[in-house]
């Protein structure tokens, strides 16, 4: 059976992860119910136990992905050496991005393809949705610079001009998904495959070629997703995310691949699609009604993966494909802005759950995405219900029977609550410890500076993520409430650069979180002082949120959070930095308009 058709193995992996997650959630709920009902059962005890089940199940499900990844880990397959007989369009959608950096990335990937003698099989198309006239004018100037730079390249043989195209839509209907659909409608018939990128994507030529060869080898494979590695992070927040993505994500992605099989994910970029399959299956509808639940689908990538699977095409993630890179947000504010858009897009999927013909796993993926954003509401409800239960708990009655001679002391079930807390903490930490042990045994820690450096990076990341988590929980909770109240977040442009913030910026974005932190601590001390020690790990980060946001945005350097890409800079990243430096330090680009032959109308 082909790798894209391993349905039996995928079903077994799903069943194992689901049963273990449900079992752990049910066990935690039962223990907590015994603790809550020790002084007499109340309705709030049932609510708290239900919330414990949901939150523990969610944490266990995430942990099981890492366990599945470790169980299913295997040596990557040998690269294919079959000739490339197809044509591929490399699509880079842009929206109010820095055109110098964008076109330098295109030039770097073109160089990477040329090193492998594959340039003739690929065209590049920069698909602009830029609405800022100044940025749009700069895009056209830098496209001319890219064109001239490639024409003057001595490696272009036989006088053949490089294949680069640029076009800008006057109206960004459908945003990125609409941009790509528009390209396929106009020019898709020229190509067998399309490599979909983001404006910050970089991919090595060997990786691109391997993806094409794998798709050529499997005629029913409709989409092949890579696992992008985050690079070029500078801030403490960005570098922690970069380390986590490099160290943990390959294992989690392998677990996802084992469970998803041929009904895998699409993350919207750094993925190869079969153009006829995509055109046939993935024309997205505009949802009825106004945003946030109506209008264009924001989280379109999950939907496109589901539509491909519904049409019988394989959708697969291959975590073994290295040489796939992207950049990430450099501070918590930019992360929260991007997360706000994802929140709205994932909650739109509520309307797609009953769509006809979808695979059961596709519906479950929608459910996971929805739960990932409403889970913070469950944590908030759990905190509030515990405070309410403590404040309204009846005084213990030591003499419940008339004329009773000896007191009856209530059973102390505190150990049950402590056990649940330890278990929840274990679900957060245990997968990371397992990944560290596995990385040490397999020698993967060498890329992160050795076992000690990897352990230090994991420890610091664990502490920082524990501090950041309550703050991010507040932003996510606000995002969900905004969507549920009918507020449209739109599609803000990505923020690039070093991401450093002033304290004033941090305070302006998080002052309301401080007020909530003060309120949480005050209410706990007033109505449930016994819970204060449990609440302080949440309340203190909220109170100092502006300081945390500001400090985490400041520059950080190795050796903490060292990654393989920093130890040995990939060639395509070196090329991008070299080209970008040459372009920015050279003479200003000539302010001339491209010819009609160079532009896609």
State residue 254's pLDDT score. Answer: 95
State residue 405's pLDDT score. Answer: 55
Q: What is the CA radius of gyration of the chain?
A: 26
**CA separation, residue 226 to residues 230, 243, 318 (Å):** 13, 18, 6
DSSP code for 235: B
In a domain, 118, yes or no: yes
Tokens encoding 8: 């039996």
Confidence of residue 596 (pLDDT cuts 50, 70, 90): very low
Bridge partners (DSSP) of residue 325 are: 202, 229
Cα separation, 182 vs 106, whole angstroms: 21
pLDDT digits (tens, 9 = 90+) for 46-87: 999 999 999 999 999 999 999 999 998 888 889 999 999 999
* DSSP strand pairing (271-274 vs 221-225): antiparallel
State residue 361's pLDDT score. Answer: 94
State residue 588's pLDDT score. Answer: 47
The H or E element spanning position 215 is: helix 205-217
Cα separation, 380 vs 517, whole angstroms: 12
| CATH code, domain with 451 | 3.90.550.10
**CA separation, residue 65 to residues 58, 71, 127, 421, 454 (Å):** 11, 10, 35, 21, 21
In a domain, 225, yes or no: yes
- Per DSSP, helices labelled H in 291-395 are 300-310, 332-348, 360-392
If DSSP codes are grouped into helix, strand and coil, which group holds residue 298? coil
**Phi/psi at 471 (nearest 5 deg)?**
-70, -45
% the chain with pLDDT above 90: 72
pLDDT digits (tens, 9 = 90+) for 511-531: 999 999 999 999 999 988 888
Q: Cα dihedral angle (192, 196, 202, 206), rounded to 10 degrees?
A: -30
Average pLDDT on 22-46 reads 85
Q: At what angle do helices 332-348 and 360-392 cross, to 10 degrees?
A: 110
In a domain, 529, yes or no: no
Cα separation, 472 vs 340, whole angstroms: 11
Decide if pLDDT at 139 tops 90.
yes
CB atoms within 10 A of CB 477: 18
Starting at the edge strand found earlier in the chain, the sheet holding 229-230 runs: 202-203, 324-326, 229-230
Tokens encoding 29: 């709920």
Confidence of residue 550 (pLDDT cuts 50, 70, 90): very high
Q: Are 131 and 492 in contact (CB under 8 A)?
A: no
Q: Are 91 and 197 in contact (CB under 8 A)?
A: yes
Q: Which of 397, 383, 418, 428 is nearest to 532 (CA)?
A: 383
The H or E element spanning position 6 is: none
pTM of the model: 0.90
Average pLDDT on 579-600 reads 61
Confidence of residue 402 (pLDDT cuts 50, 70, 90): low
Decide if pLDDT at 156 tops 60.
no
State residue 1's pLDDT score. Answer: 40
Average pLDDT on 90-118 reads 94
Bridge partners (DSSP) of residue 221 are: 314
Q: Are 18 and 360 in contact (CB under 8 A)?
A: no
Confidence of residue 266 (pLDDT cuts 50, 70, 90): very high
In a domain, 478, yes or no: yes
Average pLDDT on 561-569 reads 94
Residues in the chain, overall count: 601
Q: How far apart are the first and last CA of the chain?
A: 44
Average pLDDT on 105-119 reads 94
**CA separation, residue 452 to residues 237, 434, 455 (Å):** 21, 15, 5
- Per DSSP, helices labelled H in 41-194 are 43-71, 99-115, 133-151, 175-187
Q: What angle do CA 435, 437, 443 make, to 5 degrees?
A: 95
Average pLDDT on 534-549 reads 96
Decide if pLDDT at 365 tops 70.
yes
pLDDT digits (tens, 9 = 90+) for 275-306: 999 999 998 888 999 999 999 999 999 999 99
Higher pLDDT, 408 or 495: 495
Tokens encoding 547: 């300081």
Tokens encoding 37: 């009902």
In a domain, 1, yes or no: no
Mean pLDDT of the chain: 89
Bridge partners (DSSP) of residue 87 are: none
State residue 391's pLDDT score. Answer: 79
Decide if pLDDT at 329 tops 60.
yes
Distance of alpha carbon 549 from its chain centroid, rounded? 20
In a domain, 510, yes or no: no
Confidence of residue 591 (pLDDT cuts 50, 70, 90): very low
Q: Which of 179, 316, 331 is nearest to 241 (CA)?
A: 331
CB atoms within 10 A of CB 410: 11
In a domain, 197, yes or no: yes
The tally of domains found in the chain comes to 1
Cα separation, 176 vs 495, whole angstroms: 16
Q: Are 260 and 4 in contact (CB under 8 A)?
A: no
State residue 45's pLDDT score. Answer: 87
In a domain, 198, yes or no: yes
Q: Which residue range forms the structural domain that includes residue 94?
A: 7-78+85-392+415-500+553-590
């Amino acid at each position: 059976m082909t790798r894209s058709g391993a349905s039996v193995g995928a079903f077994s992996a799903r069943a194992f992860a689901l049963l273990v997650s449900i079992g752990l959630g049910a066990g935690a709920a039962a223990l907590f119910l015994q603790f809550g009902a020790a002084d007499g059962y109340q309705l709030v005890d049932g609510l708290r136990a239900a919330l414990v089940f949901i939150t523990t199940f969610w944490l266990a499900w995430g942990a099981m992905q890492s366990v599945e990844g470790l169980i299913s880990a295997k040596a990557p397959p040998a690269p294919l050496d079959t000739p490339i007989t197809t044509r591929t369009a490399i699509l880079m959608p842009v929206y109010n991005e820095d055109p110098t950096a964008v076109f330098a990335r295109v030039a770097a990937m073109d160089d990477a393809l040329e090193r492998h003698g594959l340039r003739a099989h690929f065209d590049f198309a920069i698909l602009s949705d830029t609405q800022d006239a100044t940025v749009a004018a700069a895009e056209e100037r830098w496209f001319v610079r890219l064109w001239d730079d490639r024409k003057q390249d001595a490696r272009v043989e036989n006088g053949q001009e490089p294949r680069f195209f640029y076009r800008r839509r006057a109206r960004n209907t459908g945003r990125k998904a609409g941009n790509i659909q528009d390209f396929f409608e106009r020019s898709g018939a020229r190509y067998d495959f399309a490599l979909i990128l983001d404006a910050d994507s970089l991919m090595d030529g060997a990786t691109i070629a391997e993806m094409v060869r794998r798709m050529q080898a499997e005629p029913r494979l409709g989409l092949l997703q890579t696992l992008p590695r985050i690079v070029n992070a500078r801030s403490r927040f960005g570098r922690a995310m970069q380390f986590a993505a490099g160290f943990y994500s390959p294992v989690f992605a392998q677990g996802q691949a084992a469970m998803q099989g041929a009904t895998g994910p699409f993350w919207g970029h750094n993925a190869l699609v079969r153009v006829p399959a995509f055109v046939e299956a993935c024309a997205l509808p505009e949802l009825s009604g106004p945003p946030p639940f109506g209008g264009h689908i924001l989280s379109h990538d999950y939907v496109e993966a589901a539509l491909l699977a519904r049409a019988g095409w394989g959708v697969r993630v291959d975590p073994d494909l290295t040489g796939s890179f992207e950049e990430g947000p450099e501070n918590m504010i930019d992360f929260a802005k991007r997360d706000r858009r994802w929140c709205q897009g994932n909650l739109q999927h509520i309307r797609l759950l009953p769509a006809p013909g979808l695979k059961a796993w596709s519906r479950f993926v929608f459910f996971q995405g929805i739960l990932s954003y409403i889970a913070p509401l469950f944590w908030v409800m759990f905190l509030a219900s515990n405070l309410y239960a403590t404040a309204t708990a009846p005084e213990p009655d030591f003499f419940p029977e008339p004329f009773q001679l000896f007191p009856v002391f209530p059973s102390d079930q505190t150990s049950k609550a402590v056990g649940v807390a330890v278990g929840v903490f274990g679900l957060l930490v245990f997968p990371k410890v397992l990944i560290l042990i596995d990385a040490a045994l397999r020698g993967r820690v060498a890329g992160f500076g050795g076992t000690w450096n990897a352990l230090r990076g994991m420890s610091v990341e664990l502490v920082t993520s524990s501090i950041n988590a309550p703050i991010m929980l507040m932003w996510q909770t606000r995002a969900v409430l905004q969507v549920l109240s009918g507020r449209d977040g739109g599609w803000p442009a990505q923020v690039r650069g070093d991401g450093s913030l002033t304290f004033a910026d941090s305070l302006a974005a998080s002052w309301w979180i401080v007020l909530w932190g003060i309120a949480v601590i005050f209410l706990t001390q007033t109505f449930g002082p016994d819970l204060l020690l449990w609440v302080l790990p949440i309340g203190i980060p909220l109170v100092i949120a502006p300081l945390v946001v500001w400090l985490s945005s400041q520059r950080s350097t190795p050796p903490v959070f060292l990654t393989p890409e920093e130890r040995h800079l990939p060639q395509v990243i070196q090329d991008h930095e070299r080209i970008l430096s040459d372009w920015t330090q050279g003479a200003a680009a000539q302010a001339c308009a491209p010819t009609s032959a160079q532009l896609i109308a």
